[in-house]
Amino acid sequence: MKFKNFPFRFFFPFIYSITFVLGCNSNYKSMPNSNISPPMADVVPYQHKIHDHIRIDPYYWLNQRDNPEVLEYLDQENDYYQKMTAHTQALQEELYKEMRARIKGDDSSVPYFFNGYWYITRYEEQKDYPVYVRKKEVLTATEEILFDCNEMAKGLDYFRLVGISVSPDNTKVAFGIDTVSRRQYTIKVKDLESGEILKTKIENTSGGSVWAADNASLFYNKKDEQTLRSEAIYKHRINIPEQEDQLVYNEADESFGVYVSASKSRKYIFISSHSTNTSEHRFIKSDQPESTFKVIHPRTSGLEYNVAHFGDYFYIHTNLNEATNFQIMRTAVDQTNSEFWEPLLPHREDVLIEDIELFDQYWVVNERENGLSRLRIMRWDDTVDYYLPIHEETYSLNVSFNPEFKSNQLRYVFNSLTTPSSVIEFDMASQQKTILKTQEVLGGDFEPSHYVSKRLWADARDGSKIPISLVHHKDTQLSQTTPILQYAYGSYGHTIDPYFSSNRLSLLDRGFAFAIAHIRGGEYLGREWYENGKLLKKKNTFYDFIDCSKFLIDQKYTSPEHLYANGGSAGGLLMGVVINLAPDLYNGVIADVPFVDVVTTMLDNTIPLTTSEYDEWGNPNKKEYYDYMLSYSPYDGVKTQDYPHLLVTSGLHDSQVQYFEPTKWVARLRAKKTDQNFLFLDTNMKAGHSGASGRFDSLRELAKKFAFIIDLEEK
């Protein structure tokens, strides 16, 4: 997708699984120890001065990660949280076992075929991490283990392997490893013939890499060690020390990140530079790794384009010529400037073109109309043009991995709020589909017909209609006593589609309903939906969420005593603003790794990824943006008022939302709030933005959050 080519500082990778599982059980009663006093952070006023304005930060000292007093304070907050929630330990354990029981322990992915091998990812019973394997030519061949991450993760608090890249001759594989959870990956190379790990050890990368056709040249990107911006592309030669790697391209503009990729045809290598709303691409032929990268079209502010290759053409997904919802164009590989781009699929005012997938006989376009995804399938000879048939009111539909050109089989993934995820293979010629794999829900008598989903439309204060996807058990009657968890994200054009989660059943089976508010800032209703929720229109995001809450209350689907809210990362900023503006609408709120000190962070260009996001939030070095951001900043906007019950999570090694943002926010809230409601800060001292790395370890983190909501619903 066009807006997913660089890492958002505040995107929360686990928003789906973390926010969808809650529950309520009348056997658990709240028995917190009211004699325990919360920690109170020392007040050390610090003055921020800019634009002839002084802003006082009483907890700026908490920004010092290496200060022992800061670590001691975090430990005190964790200790307070653990003691105050000790009475929920049995519930946490029950939730953990319940969620884990639904997960198939010895699961595996649908095999895909590429360059002579079948590739499979599988999980073994009782183990946290995946095992990556391949089989030569046929699925009955002997299994070759590429990586057993369970063995590689032994003795480590955190482990993540990314960027598996097999050389064209199938003899070597490059991969990236992070053992800190700060997204600074070390690239290594494994010899697949001997099974040995080579001496290559390239540190401080994004983890991804691309082989040239010579099987010896490896292109990768380096990060700035302080800001973590992906800033340069290097070329590594196998068996030559990485200290001698050649700098291929340096991205001088600090508002851009740069990445390297290969075309689906494997004939070209691309270097792509991206900011929030501008992109630029360079290319070489894969069999000419020593050649100089050529620019496809020079960067132009506001011009976005992505490039795919097939045959004699580059296919361009772009907003050229004010194509707000994007269009598809093509150009000969030797005439790449936009003056040569010819229309293939024109822009439409009511249809967002999200992506394309190319085959030798067909091409597929991923579109979105009125919030719903659809796949348009066309033959290159213009004899076929139709849409993949879908028969649900609200759902999630995405093209899966299709690495081969010479195929009539399109793989896609379908699920909905009530339907488990399925990988489906669709024959584009016969229009017959085959379900290759459906998510198994174990541990009970799950039946999709036991659940009901619908799409609602709330009135925004400016007259816009905001979609809400809602799901509940068929036996749950929506009323003022129905607990509802309302979730949203609302930034970067990232769309939260309604999709299935087995964890969410712990919520629905206990009488909860779950609502996704498709607010502005995402692209659910097209590109304009995003544009009207960013920069100087960012407040629409917050107002939309509040107006959706009021709608659910006004329609008597719930009430403030039973309405809960959750958001993570940029969605955590959403939570912070909402409780400053409308705290009386919610009984409890979970803010996961929240981006709440927006002004301070966006003024500090030494913090990871700040400069690359000026086009999303604005540059507060300019007074207009400073004033606007300050008017909604959750940290600066904390008031002397009552707040809902709050659980705030954080990660000490978080590279996207620094730990001190939620830490300072909690300290300020605790000093100013006038209620007796719970306020907890739970900091993972061994992980970062994504939390625990193991599939089962992460469930324990979820169980703590779920128990918090259950406990509140029982009061």
Residues forming the active site:
569, 654, 689
Is residue 472 within 8 A of residue 454, CB to CB? The reply is no
Is residue 576 within 8 A of residue 497, CB to CB? The reply is no
**C-alpha triplet 99, 155, 146: angle, nearest 5°:** 80
Distance in angstroms (rounded) separating the CA atoms of residues 630 and 618:
11
Q: 387 CB contacts (<8 Å, ≥6 apart)?
A: 374, 375, 376, 377
CA torsion through residues 455, 458, 460, 463, sign: positive
DSSP labels for 342-384? EEEE--BTTEEEEEEEE-SSEEEEEEEETTEEEEEEEETTSS-
Q: Which of 422, 378, 373 is nearest to 396 (CA)?
A: 373
182: left (phi over 0), alpha (psi -120 to 50) or beta: alpha
Radius of gyration of the chain (CA): 25
Q: 283 CB contacts (<8 Å, ≥6 apart)?
A: 268, 269, 270, 271, 293, 294, 296, 307
Q: 234 CB contacts (<8 Å, ≥6 apart)?
A: 202, 219, 220, 221, 222, 245, 246, 247, 248
Is residue 46 within 8 A of residue 60, CB to CB? The reply is yes
User: Please, what's the b/e burial string for 424-461 (b: 16 or more CB within 10 A of its CB; e: otherwise)?
Assistant: bbbebeeeebeebbebebeeeeeeeeebbbebbebebe
Q: Which of 361, 365, 362 is nearest to 352 (CA)?
A: 365
Number of residues that make up the chain: 715
Is residue 168 within 8 A of residue 177, CB to CB? The reply is no
Helices 68-84, 660-672: axis angle to 10 degrees equals 60
Kindly list the distances between the CA atom of residue 485 and the CA atoms of 507, 567, 583, in Å, as whole numbers in the listed order: 9, 10, 15
Q: Which of 296, 325, 290 is nearest to 313 (CA)?
A: 296
Q: Which of 599, 596, 594, 595 is nearest to 619 (CA)?
A: 599
